[in-house]
Structures are given as C-alpha cells and as structure tokens.
Structure 1
Amino acid sequence: MKKLLNTLYVTSAGAYLRRDGETVAIEIEGVVRARMPCHLLSQIVLFGETTMSRDMMVLAGDAGISVAWLTFSGKLAARIEGPQTGNVLLRRAQHRATASEATALTIASQIVAAKVANQRALLRRHLRDYPDSPGSESVDSAQRRLADAARLALEAPDLETLRGHEGEAAHAYWKVFGALVRNPDPAFAFGGRNRRPPRDAVNAVLSFLYALAALDARAACESHGLDPQMGFLHRDRPGRMSLALDLMEELRAPLCDRVCLSLVNRRQLRGADFERQDTGAVLLSDAGRKTVLTAWQERKRTELRHAWIDERLPLGLVLYVQAQALARHLRGDLDAYPAWLWT
C-alpha cells in the first residue's frame, strides 16, 4: 500500500484555520466549513487573505506539517515548519557534491536531459493525437531539435554549456507551445513564455502550477533529509530553493504543462476566470484557482509505471521517489542519479 502525502489547499478569502483536537478546523465567517485530521496531511497551503491560529501552527510543527502562504498569483510569501530533521551526514555529502562541478555536472546533465526528453514527449503526444492540426510541421521540427538537445545535454563538458543547451531547448519548446493550445478563444492566445508577472492567461496558469510543483519538490527534498536550497543545476541564491527547482524540472511538462493544456483545451477555464491588473499582470481569479487546483490534484493521482523502481505509482509521488533516489546516490548506494522519463 502506498500513501500519497496530502496537501490541504485553502483558497477562500477570510478563511481561518484553528486547532480542534488533532484536527484542522476551517472557519469562514465564524462557521466551520470543513475539518481535516492532521495525520492525513503533510502540507498546508494558504492563498491570499487566510489566517491560522497560534495553536494550529504549534500542532502543524509538532505533526511535521509545513505551512506555506502564497499570494493570489501563486508566489511564495512565507513558510513555517517545525524542528529541522534529516541526516547531517547526508547534508554534508550533498554539500560536497554541489561544491564539485564535476559531480554537479553528472547529476545536472541527467536532470536536463530528462526535462528536455519529457518536453519532447508532450510535443510528440500532440502530433500523435492531432496530426493535422495547425502548426504541426513546426511542432515536429521542434521535437527533433529537442531530441538533439537532450543528447547534447548528456555530453556537455561543463555546467555553463549544459545551461546553454537547456536554454536552446526551452526556446524551441516555447516557440511552438502555442500550437498545442487548441482553444480558439482569444483570451488564451499564447505568444511565448513570460512571468514576473505573467501577462496572459496561459502564462498565469503555468506560473501558478510551477509554484505548486516547487512546494511539492521542497517537501520531497525535506522528507528525505536533503537541503532544498543546495542545488546542482540552479545557481545558489539567497532564498532560492535550488534543489527543489532542480527536481521539479523533470515534472514540468508531464505534470504542470499537461494540466494547463487540458484545462484550456477542454474549456474548463474561461476568460472570466482571470483578472487583468493595471500593471499588465494577468492573475487567476478565486474561481479559476479552485478549478486549477482540482485538476492539479486529479493529475497527481494518475498512475503510471516508474522505470527505476519498476512499479506503478501516482504521478504525485514521483518527486518523492526522485528525492529518495538522489539521497541514495549522494550516500553512495547508487552509482548515478536515475532521472525520470515520461513514457
């Protein structure tokens, strides 16, 4: 039996979380709308104007539940957690590995190659399912370029060259991503990737989903005793979750990008689900966020076979398996880090 570590998302404005025994009680305007036993949770994510009692924070810390506050756009504003756990010997091994460019390169090249291969898989699925759709020739050309980029990533002599191959692959991928959007509504026109802030509806959904994936990746790192800020591909920067960002690279296309495309192409999202601000930023509305979160959780429950462990498991557990594999590699139990390929 596998237990999928659960996350409680609270999006309702004015919601208040308090402790009720060993349960989280969620109040809105003084009325308890929901309860959730703490033993079922690994993370609580609060959006916008939501608050929590001190007793609830203490309970979360004691139960090993991390709490994250996100802005309405999905940007991490704050995070609290209980006493730090983990194996100090593993963290020292991680520190040595990140300090060695040769070691970092062997891990980072696997991550980038898998990321690009999984982006290519998304393009190939589109070509298989919609061979006569507009832009198919450009999508086919892009997937061929991604095949070359994945191969070159494995042959990169240094991290700078590797990041260059990743950038070239990203350029090819995002250039044709709009061809995968089959919703004719002008509200979902996609002219390329943009962020901080997102300036169109598709980018607003992508940025929101990437923020959720980063939180899951951080939780996966910490659950296996890894330092989420000490990465191999992403450069060190104060406050950046570099290792969490490394791990989520492999899941961007099959998890985040796939959810975004499904929501848009199935018309589960409408133009009214977005708010356009005077600054040019486009953000999901409260109703839009709820729609995305529902699809996000459903996608994470999708089962597939993981080649390294040779078992079927929910997609939401892949990050935890990858964090475990990385920890075993750093401890010397595995000769190499087995990146995850979407098949």
Structure 2
Amino acid sequence: MRKLLNSLYILEETAYLTLDGENIVCRAEDSEKFRVPFTNIEDIYIFSYSGCSPALMGKCAEYGIAVNFISPQGKFLARVQGKTKGNVYLRKEQFELFSIPQLDLIRNTVAAKLSNTRYLIRRSLHDNPDINSDGALTDCIKYLENGIKTVYETADKDIIMGIEGSCAKAYFDIFDRLILHQKEDFYLANRTKRPPLDRVNAMLSFLYTIAISSYTSALESVGLDSCLGFYHALRSGRSSLSCDLVEEFRCVVERLVLTMINLKMIKPEDFETQVSGAVYLSKEGKKKVLTAWQERKRTSIVHPYLGEKIQQGLLPYVQSSLLAKYIRGELDEYPNYLLK
C-alpha cells in the first residue's frame, strides 16, 4: 500500500522554488520563506508565475515527485514527471484494450457517477428533509435512477454521454438546494466552467483540477498511460483516463464544497471577481480550500470492494491499481468506487 505523504501547494504568485541539497526551498521577494525536505513531499502544485528551477524539477523527477503548474486562477498548465514506472507490457495491453470500445466499462463508470450523485442527495435529504418540500430532490433521485437503468439498455456511447449530460443538468438544477447557509452569497444557477461565474463554480472547478492531477499521478505510478482513456476522447494535452476515473470521484469534491459553505468555513471575501465576470478563489480562499482538502484526504473510509480501511487520499492509487489489474486480466471487471 502506498504511504500517504503530503502535497505541497505554492500559492504566493511571486514564489520561486529552488533546490538546496535534499531540500525544497521557497523564495519570494528576495527572501527565503521556508524549506522542506523531499522525504515529506508526495507531489507539488505551483500556482505562481515564476515556477521552479530546472535543478529542482530534475530532482523531483528522480524521486518520482510530480510537479503540477497551475495558473493563479486554477487552470491546469503543465506537469513535470519523471521516468514512467511499471511494465511496458501493461501499457501495451492498455492501448490494445482501449482501441476497442469498452461498453461495459463505460456503462459502469457512468452508472457509478450517477449512483454516487444519488447518494449525496439522499444523505443531504436525510439530514435536512425540509429542502424537499416540493419534491424536487426526490424527483431528481428518480431521474438519476432512471438514467442508471437506461445506461444499461443502450449500446451507443453517444446516447450514454447524452444520458450522463441530462442527469448532470438535473443534479446541478437542484444543487443550490443543498446549500443551507450563506445562501445570499453562495448559489449555483447552473454549472459554468471556463470561466466559473460564481463562487460555488469557482470552488468546484478548482478542486476538480486538483482531483484530476491526483489521479494522473496515481495512474502513472502504477504504469498506466493517463492520456489514453476509455470514455473521454483522446485529446492532445488532456489526461483522458484521469478524467474517466474522476467521474466516480466527483461526489467527494462536491460534498466537500457543500460542507465548507454550510459550516461557514469559506466566506465571500475569499473570492475575487474579475472585470469579465469570472470568479476565482483568492490566495486566502485557496489556502482554506486546500487545507480542508488535505484534511479530507486523511479521513478513513472503508473501501467498498477491498473491504479495508484506507485514507481517502489513497483512493486514486487504489482505483488505479484495480484498473491495472483489470487491464492485465487479473479481474473480470473494474470495481468502480461506489458510496454506500
């Protein structure tokens, strides 16, 4: 089992990372801000304009520490990773398998996403039944359940994508009802991505980016090619397989966003609105969200397939390992992550 270490997040826009022996050194405004040994770091997320030194990138590649470059607004820019790990034959098997439409894998992945979405709504409804006074939430649950059923009744990938899209719209149409506090400042009329146009969308987009990067690291660590997926189309620069696996994980991000808003862990002043209308987390807002994310990663869960307790931060690595076993033929099917 992979040991869960720490992710290093650099939020200061003028920060520059350098190498000093076995330490990562962060400098900003001509002074050293901190230094941390490599042994404490699993991956690095840099939200600054300056980036890091080539020597540091080389050392990170040597130690298997992925360096993710993300704009201050949360847009993924690039990723530096060392030599590919794992057996080359695993990637060969991945390419051969995914060259043929994987209908069962696609169906199960979409069904898992819709099932986990249903779980999140049911949990919110159980804790706060008043939010369903007009039956909108139960209607959405029925719509999702019908979507799950219909996914298994078609053999057309485009139709499955359409079902997923319509179910996602139905879900985000009622998402605003799951926000119980600070409703004047936090609301979601519809899902907006590029750019996010409200505070809720800003949090969702920011954390989705982090989640996809985590899955990319996990997939590469078990020897799979994160760019070749079975559901998302092949596109230059996109980690399509990471996007595939994140589908069943999105509910974890959405639940954290709701928790932070409802417990007032995040406030309106933690966001910045640009002239264009785009809304992004401020530096302080990013700190709050990433702190909550790190804490959530350390939460213990019982994995539904393994039946073992793991830290939630290990989930991308567990799922990537299970997918690798499926591709190698060691499992009859890939066990999707299902909330129960």
Cα offset for 1:136?
Answer: 6.2
Structure 1 residues 135-163: Cα deviation after superposition (integer angstroms, max 9, x where no partner): 56211111121122123223431312221
2:315 matched to 1:324? no
Residue ranges of structure 2 left out of the alignment (5+ in a row) = none
Counterpart contact for 2:74–2:206, Cα < 8 Å? yes
- The aligned runs of 1:2-13 (5 Å cut-off) are 3-13=3-13
Counterpart contact for 1:135–1:179, Cα < 8 Å? no
Counterpart contact for 2:296–2:312, Cα < 8 Å? yes
Structure 1 residues 79-98: Cα deviation after superposition (integer angstroms, max 9, x where no partner): 11222333221111111121
Q: Give the structure 2 partner of residue 258 of structure 1.
A: 255
Cα offset for 1:167?
Answer: 1.3
- Match of 2:131, SS state, is coil
Q: Give the structure 1 partner of residue 87 of structure 2.
A: 87
Structure 1 residues 224-253: Cα deviation after superposition (integer angstroms, max 9, x where no partner): 111111001111111111100001111101
Counterpart contact for 2:112–2:337, Cα < 8 Å? yes
Structure 1 residues 272-311: Cα deviation after superposition (integer angstroms, max 9, x where no partner): 1111111111111111111110111111111110021110
2:106 matched to 1:108? yes
Structure 1 residues 159-216: Cα deviation after superposition (integer angstroms, max 9, x where no partner): 1222122112112111100100112442212101111000001000000010000100
TM-score under structure 1 length normalisation: 0.95
Counterpart contact for 2:272–2:280, Cα < 8 Å? yes
TM-score under structure 2 length normalisation: 0.96
Structure 1 residues 112-153: Cα deviation after superposition (integer angstroms, max 9, x where no partner): 111110000000001000011365621111112112212322
Cα offset for 1:268?
Answer: 1.6
223-232 vs 261-270, greater mean Cα deviation: 261-270
Aligned residues between the structures:
340
Letter of the aligned partner of 2:199 in structure 1? A
Q: Give the structure 1 partner of residue 23 of structure 2.
A: 23
Residue ranges of structure 1 left out of the alignment (5+ in a row) = none
2:216 matched to 1:207? no
Counterpart contact for 2:10–2:46, Cα < 8 Å? yes
- Measure, in 1, the Cα distance between the counterparts of 2:5 and 2:331: 25
Q: Give the structure 1 partner of residue 229 of structure 2.
A: 231
**Quick one: structure 1 residues 5 and 113, their matched pair in 2 at CA, closer, same or farther if it must change by over 3 Å?**
farther
Counterpart contact for 2:2–2:317, Cα < 8 Å? no
- Measure, in 2, the Cα distance between the counterparts of 1:37 and 1:152: 51
**Quick one: structure 1 residues 315 and 297, their matched pair in 2 at CA, closer, same or farther if it must change by over 3 Å?**
same
Q: Give the structure 2 partner of residue 159 of structure 1.
A: 157
Calculate the aligned-residue CA RMSD, in Å.
1.6
Q: Give the structure 2 partner of residue 76 of structure 1.
A: 76
Counterpart contact for 1:17–1:25, Cα < 8 Å? yes
263-272 vs 111-120, greater mean Cα deviation: 263-272
- Measure, in 2, the Cα distance between the counterparts of 1:167 and 1:85: 35
